[in-house]
Amino acid sequence: MKPARPGRSLAKKLVRVGFLLVALGFGGWAVASQWDAVLAGFARLSWPALAGSLVAVVAALLGAMLTWRTLLADLGSPLPLRPAAKVFFVGQLGKYIPGTVWPMLAQMEMGRDLGVPRSRSAAAFFLMMPIQLATGLLVTLGTLGWDKYGWLLLLIPLLLVLLEPKVINAVITFGLRRLKREPLERPLTRRGMLTALGWALAGWTAYGVHLYCIAPQGGLLFAVGAFALSWCLGIMTFVVPAGAGVREVAMVAVLAPQLDRGSAIAVALSSRIVIVIGDLICAGLAGIAARRDSV
């Protein structure tokens, strides 16, 4: 395996930093240009609505953790709930660091302490993205309408192929061979994949409730689709940490038929803040619970 060239690595970092600065710059300009409307939008948000939104976010994050845990168990490394929660939630905090590898590296190292081979942790991590993208795009089509977002159909066949266990196992085997690592002892099964897809769909429902609590104007189905679409667009822009800025821009655009621009910006910013708090709460509680088990 050839080491990455220093110049190429530096160029990638500069592109990521530049994209992040541009995204944050445009985001800051959008907020400043609508400042009075944004403040009015924040004023219309109630503490009970934000609390309900946070509870829904925690439920959605739990769904994501169970998706990952299902994949890991199907690959041959079943973990008890509390240790699995610690590995997933603490590792997920790495998504706020520029670059895409930090959550995976953290999960690989913490999983190794629990007897999970690094190759399995890496496989489960990389499988999360196509699962969440495929289910997110399907949820978008089912809730926001085929007429307006029919162009997303172009991506569905590719994602469905990537979710076929035979294809996945072949790709994982090829990747491990290129890295000169041992192949996975157990291939991914169709039952495991379907179970993971079920947890992912449950997570999208919870995320929709989260958005509905702070933006109920379009109804629950609209909130589910609006969040799913904005998340998918944000995660596909993987050069910025956790889709920073991109998800908010997409959410403002999707909410435009239901809210004025200032209120939509306030909702998008509130959603980001609530999700960050949810990540911290889940990581903290999972770490405390796992520590008590080890005492």
pLDDT band at 237 (very low <50, low <70, confident <90, very high): low
Banded pLDDT at 5 (limits 50, 70, 90): low
Contact yes or no for 75/189 (Cβ under 8 A)? no
Q: Is the pLDDT of residue 164 over 50?
A: yes
**Please, what sign has the CA dihedral across residues 148, 154, 157, 161?**
negative
End-to-end CA distance of the chain: 42
Per-residue pLDDT of 123-147, as tens digits, reads 888 888 888 888 998 898 888 876 6
- List pLDDT tens digits, range 279-291: 888 988 888 877 7
Higher pLDDT, 47 or 55: 55
* pLDDT for the residue numbered 239: 45
- Compute the average pLDDT of residues 30-36: 50
Q: At what angle do helices 220-236 and 190-214 cross, to 10 degrees?
A: 110
What pLDDT is attached to residue 246? 73
Q: Residue 240 pLDDT > 50, yes or no?
A: no
Token duo for residue 209:
């409730």
Rounded mean pLDDT of 219-246?
A: 77
Q: Is the pLDDT of residue 61 over 90?
A: yes
Residue 95 has pLDDT above 80, yes or no: no
The per-residue pLDDT for range 17-27, each reduced to its tens digit, is 554 455 445 44
- Tell me what the pLDDT averaged over the chain comes to: 80
Which burial class, exposed, middle or buried, applies to 270 when counting CB atoms under 10 A from its CB (0-12, 13-18, 19+)? Answer: buried
**Domain residue extents for the chain:** 11-294
Q: According to the model, what pLDDT value does residue 294 have? A: 59
- The torsion defined by the Cα of 56, 111, 90 and 136, in degrees rounded to 10, comes to -40
- What's the mean pLDDT in 32-54? 70
More confident residue, 236 or 222: 222
